[in-house]
Amino acid sequence: MERINLDNYDTDKGHNYIKFYEAFFYPYRFSTVSVLELGMHRGGSMRIWRDYFPHGKIFGVDINPVDIPDDHRIFTYQGDATNRAFLDSIYKDHNVALFDLIIDDASHMGHDARKSFEMLFRDHLAPGGLYVVEDWGTGYMPDWPDGARYGEYDVSHQQAEGLKSKLMRRKPDTPASPSAGHGAGMVGFVKSLVDHVGGPDIRAWGGDIEDWGIEYVTYTPGLVFMKKRAG
């Protein structure tokens, strides 16, 4: 099998990511896939996917202008990946309502990642498709806007997640627990997915959680792969 040679591409994706992408994406490799990546930066990953999927169409979104010369299989759009009207314009433009593979490599902020996911997974990922959230480890970075060192998630981060009122009710000298803190932000978002995988058991025992059609979730360092049920 021909492998992705990162020396040929201007991307910040490393071998630690590419080995998992190759493992998860290989079953789709020779199909006429539609791939959507949120966040293009210098366009390196657009070219990776174009070359890896010889029959694929690659759609990219970035809030900043990205200069990728015209290519009959790469289509780029400038806009905010959390904006529904903007995403809708892509589907209309290309008459593509469903993507087989969606990669979120955009802002790496919990509320953005959740918003894009909620707009795309159910309505715009094809049955049997994969959704990937990249760089979720930003949630453990102390200087990331909604991140914090593990065990040190502080009040300001929780406020950013709209948890202010909850905190107000807490005794002032109660330290924020690591699990409470990292239950929010990027890490909180990816952790919340586990409940959707547990949906059948939750509902069987009288609990209530919406069925988003997630068949399984696989976590690797920095990447989360979610498979959508085929039917």
Ligand X SMILES: C[S@@+](CC[C@H](N)C(=O)[O-])C[C@H]1O[C@@H](n2cnc3c(N)ncnc32)[C@H](O)[C@@H]1O
Give the residue, chosen from 18, 33, 36, 40, that forms a contact with ligand X under the rule CB under 6 A. 40
Q: According to the binding rule CB under 6 A, does residue 106 interact with ligand X?
A: yes
* Ramachandran assignment for 222, one of left (phi > 0), alpha (psi -120 to 50 degrees), beta (any other): left
Beta carbon nearer to ligand X, 61 or 102: 61
Kindly tell me which of 145 and 199 has the beta carbon lying closer to ligand X. Answer: 145
12 binds ligand X (CB under 6 A): yes
Q: Which stretch binds ligand X (CB under 6 A): 69-77, 101-109, 144-152, 158-166?
A: 101-109
DSSP string covering 140-153, please?
G-TTSTT---TT--
Tell which one of 4, 18, 36, 39 touches ligand X (CB under 6 A): 39
Asked if 146 touches ligand X (CB under 6 A), the answer is no
CB burial string 60-79: b at 16+ within 10 A, e below? bbbbeebebeeeebbbbbee
Residue of 53, 80, 101, 190 interacting with ligand X (CB under 6 A): 80
Kindly state whether residue 38 participates in binding ligand X, applying the rule CB under 6 A: yes
The catalytically annotated residue of 108, 111, 124, 182 is 108
Q: Is residue 54 classed exposed, middle or buried when 0-12, 13-18 and 19+ CB atoms within 10 A define those classes?
A: exposed
Q: What is the dihedral of CA 177, 110, 128, 35, to 10 degrees?
A: -150
108 in active site? yes
The stretch among 40-48, 94-102, 170-178, 193-201 that binds ligand X (CB under 6 A) is: 40-48
Closest CA to 134 of 157, 160, 102: 102
82 binds ligand X (CB under 6 A): yes
Tell the smallest beta-carbon distance from residue 17 to ligand X (Å).
9
How far apart are alpha carbons 95 and 23 in whole angstroms?
29
d(CA 24, CA 17) in angstroms, rounded, equals 11
Counting residues that bind ligand X (by CB under 6 A) gives 21
Active site residues: 108
Binding site for ligand X (CB under 6 A): 11-13, 37-41, 44-45, 61-64, 80-82, 105-107, 112
